[in-house]
Each structure stands twice: as C-alpha cells, then as structure tokens.
C-alpha cells in the first residue's frame, strides 16, 4: 500500500490524493483533534462509519498551536497511518484553523474545554464561547460552498449559535449542534426499562438544550411498534427518573470515569453526521428553531428533523405536545434564552 500523504501546516497547504478512485473524497475538518473524543472519532471516520464504506475521506485535523497538543496530534496521525484505512486519502495536521477548514465539506467542532465534577455545561460558556466566534468566521471564509458544521464542544447549542452568527455566506441551517448522544442514551434507558432489545425502541427525540433541562420526549416514542407509554405504564418513572437519568448522564459519567464521555460522544457524532447524509432518516438534531415547538426563534434547540438530501433537513413539526411536554419545553427554552443573553456580546 502506498502511504497517506500528510500535510503539515508549515509545509504544503493542500493534501494530495494518491488514489485513482473516481469518488471525490469528503474533506472533514475536526477541531480538538488531539483530545479525548477525537481519539475515538477520527478512526471511526477513517474506517467509513460516518460516510459509508465507499466514500473516501481526507481528515483535516486542527489543534491549538502549542507544542504539546501538536506533538500529540502528530502521534494520532501516525496511528491513523498505521491503520492503513483504505478510505483515508489524506491528512492535514495543523494548528492554523485557516488551513484546517480550507475547502472542508464537514466541519466538526469538538475542540473546547470539557467540564469537571460539580460544573454545569453552561459554566464553560465564558471560556469556550469565544472559540466559536473565530471558528465561525474562518469556516464562513474558507470552507467549501456546501460546508456543514456540527458542534460538539459544550455548551453545544449556544456555541453553535455563536458560530452561526458569524457567518455571512453560510446560512444558519448549515450549523447544527449534537443532541444525538442524549437520544442514544434515552433509547437505551427505555429499552432497559421495557426489557426489550434496543432496536425495538423508536421515535425517541430530544427537545431543547444539551443540558439537564433537555426533554427526551417519551410521549411520542414507540416500543415494539406500540406507544412507549402503553408498554411502560409507570408514568411517574417516565416523567421523573427517566428524564433525570438522561439529562444528568453526562455528569454521572464524569463522576464514574473522572473524565467526560468520549467514545459515546464520538459514536453519537458519527450517528449525527451519518443520518444527516441519508435522506429519509428522522433523528434528533439541535437546529435554529425558527419558532418550532414554541422555542425562541433565535435559539438552537434539539428537535426531530428529517434528512431531505445529503446535509439538508426539515424539522418534523407535527408532534402534539401534552401539558407536561409543553412545560418541559418551556423550561429548556428558558435556559437557552438565558444562555443566549449571556453571550450577547459574542454574537455577530
């Protein structure tokens, strides 16, 4: 096998595609590429899990331009090379976001500080929010015309709003934040409670913020084709411990592991992007609400979307909301509005 050409920031700006395959590689820019999540994510992307087994990719890996993370990133690139992934057609290793986002088709914004024990994700806003000002501007200036952005760095919804607010060329619908980890968590909790295989749980969607206020809408979920509330008749469990377990799962993982979720977060991002590339998929994504489900029109809120074309989607707006659902949505919306107010000075 011929080696993968790797591009360093100080050398060439363009990775070279060595393959003779006719399929054009998708350029995937990933920030925080030497971090925990990326250590799972990059290998999944390169193996074909995100874009499918026929789609070549070029990884454009971005870190902060300091010696330690850049050296660590060099090591990650060496390991990627050592995997001999047939779909990996090039790598860019850079501390310069202008190089890393150049011509990117997907921009995966993972790089940001994780929270520690006792913190809420919103406590990260002051430190992390500013990262997304510059990245939003650079992506708008140099990414591909069809660029899509997925934000993972916390607090993801509001960071996504900050990045999108900087863009003049790319429209707000190109910017999505990840609530798929919450959907996956909710699916697993419902399957455990009902004592069924995970695949029997469908249509469980996440509304609102990626925070404890999020609403995993059990009211519309199906288990084995039946309404979940007919299968799990313990409504108090659904309204209480279920919502709480899903909403606070991130903190539970930090308490158990001493570090925030990484492999499951990477897996959720694979799902997020994968399902946004496949028309017909219905899944939870945080998008600019435009007023759907009573959310403030300017906030990024989790809700069910249907992929309409690769990278494009429409909000599924038809789910009826009971009084309990409406009150949950109102409280997660309130938090999103408060976060937006707290970062007013960061919005473009």
Q: Which residues bind ligand LMR (CB under 6 A)?
A: 114-115, 121, 154, 181, 250-251, 253, 260-261, 265
- The answer to whether residue 346 forms part of the interface with ligand NAD (CB under 6 A) is no
Q: What are the φ and ψ backbone dihedral angles of 128, each rounded to 5 degrees?
A: -85, -35
Q: Residue 253 binds which one of ligand NAD, ligand LMR, none, with CB within 5 to 8 A depending on kind?
A: ligand LMR
User: Which residue's CB is nearer to ligand NAD, number 67 or number 145?
Assistant: 67
Cis previous bond, 162, omega within 30: no
- The answer to whether residue 70 forms part of the interface with ligand NAD (CB under 6 A) is no
Q: CB count, 10 Å around CB of 208? A: 32
User: Which residue's CB is nearer to ligand NAD, number 59 or number 232?
Assistant: 59
Q: Residue 110 binds which one of ligand LMR, ligand NAD, none, with CB within 5 to 8 A depending on kind?
A: ligand NAD
Closest contact distance (angstroms) between CB of 152 and ligand LMR is 8
Q: Residue 30 binds which one of ligand NAD, ligand LMR, none, with CB within 5 to 8 A depending on kind?
A: none
**231-235 long-range contacts, CB within 8 A, separation 24+:** 231/194, 231/196, 232/190, 232/193, 232/194, 234/193
Closest contact distance (angstroms) between CB of 83 and ligand NAD is 20
- DSSP annotation string for 125-179: HHHHHHHHHHHHHHHHHHS-TT-EEEE-SSSHHHHHHHHHHT-SSS-GGGEEE--
Using CB under 6 A as the criterion, what x/- string covers residues 118-137 for binding ligand NAD?
Answer: -------------x------
- The answer to whether residue 115 forms part of the interface with ligand NAD (CB under 6 A) is yes
Q: Residue 35 binds which one of ligand NAD, ligand LMR, none, with CB within 5 to 8 A depending on kind?
A: ligand NAD
210 catalytic, yes or no? Answer: yes
User: Which residue's CB is nearer to ligand LMR, number 138 or number 181?
Assistant: 181
Closest contact distance (angstroms) between CB of 141 and ligand NAD is 16
Nearest to 96 by CA among 125, 75, 66: 66
User: Which residue's CB is nearer to ligand NAD, number 107 or number 178?
Assistant: 178
User: Which residue's CB is nearer to ligand NAD, number 231 or number 305?
Assistant: 305
Q: Which residue is closest to ligand LMR by CB?
A: 250
* Interatomic CA distance for residues 284 and 96, integer angstroms: 32
**322-329 long-range contacts, CB within 8 A, separation 24+:** 322/219, 324/219, 324/239, 325/207, 325/215, 325/217, 325/219, 326/294, 328/207, 328/208, 328/213, 328/215, 328/243, 329/207, 329/208, 329/215, 329/293, 329/294, 329/295
- The answer to whether residue 339 forms part of the interface with ligand NAD (CB under 6 A) is no
The one among 265, 301, 336, 346 contacting ligand NAD by CB under 6 A: 265
Residues of this chain that interact with ligand NAD (CB under 6 A) are 31-32, 34-37, 62-64, 69, 110-115, 131, 152-154, 156, 178, 181, 210, 260-262, 265
């Amino acid at each position: 096998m011929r080696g993968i050409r790797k591009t360093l920031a100080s050398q060439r700006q363009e990775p070279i595609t060595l393959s003779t395959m006719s399929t054009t590689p998708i350029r995937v820019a990933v920030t925080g590429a030497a971090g925990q999540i990326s250590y799972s994510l990059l290998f999944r992307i390169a193996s074909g899990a995100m874009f499918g087994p026929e789609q070549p990719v070029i990884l454009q890996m971005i870190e902060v331009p300091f010696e330690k993370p850049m050296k660590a990133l060099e090591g990650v690139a060496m390991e990627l090379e050592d995997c001999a992934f047939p779909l990996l057609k090039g790598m860019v290793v850079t501390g310069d976001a202008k190089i890393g986002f150049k011509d990117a088709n997907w921009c995966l914004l993972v790089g940001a500080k994780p929270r520690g024990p006792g913190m809420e994700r919103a406590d990260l806003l002051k430190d992390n929010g500013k990262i997304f000002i510059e990245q939003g501007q650079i992506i708008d200036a140099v990414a591909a015309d069809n660029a899509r952005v997925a934000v993972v760095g916390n607090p993801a919804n509001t960071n996504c709003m900050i990045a999108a607010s900087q863009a003049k060329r790319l429209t707000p619908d190109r910017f999505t934040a990840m609530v798929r980890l919450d959907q996956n968590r909710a699916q697993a909790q419902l399957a455990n409670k009902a004592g069924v295989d995970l695949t029997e749980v469908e249509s469980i969607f996440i509304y609102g913020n990626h925070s404890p206020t999020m609403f995993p809408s059990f009211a519309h979920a199906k288990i084995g084709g039946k309404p979940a509330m007919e299968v799990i008749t313990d409504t108090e469990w659904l309204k209480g411990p279920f919502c709480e377990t899903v909403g606070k799962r991130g903190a539970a993982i930090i308490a158990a592991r001493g570090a925030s979720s990484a492999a499951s977060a990477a897996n959720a991002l694979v799902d997020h992007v994968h399902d946004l590339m496949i028309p017909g998929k219905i899944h939870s994504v945080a998008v600019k609400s435009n007023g759907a489900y009573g959310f403030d029109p300017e906030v990024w809120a989790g809700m069910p979307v249907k992929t309409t074309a690769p990278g494009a989607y429409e909000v599924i707006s038809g789910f009826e909301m009971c009084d309990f659902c409406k009150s949950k949505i109102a409280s997660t919306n309130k938090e999103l509005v408060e976060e937006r107010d707290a970062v007013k000075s960061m919005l473009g």
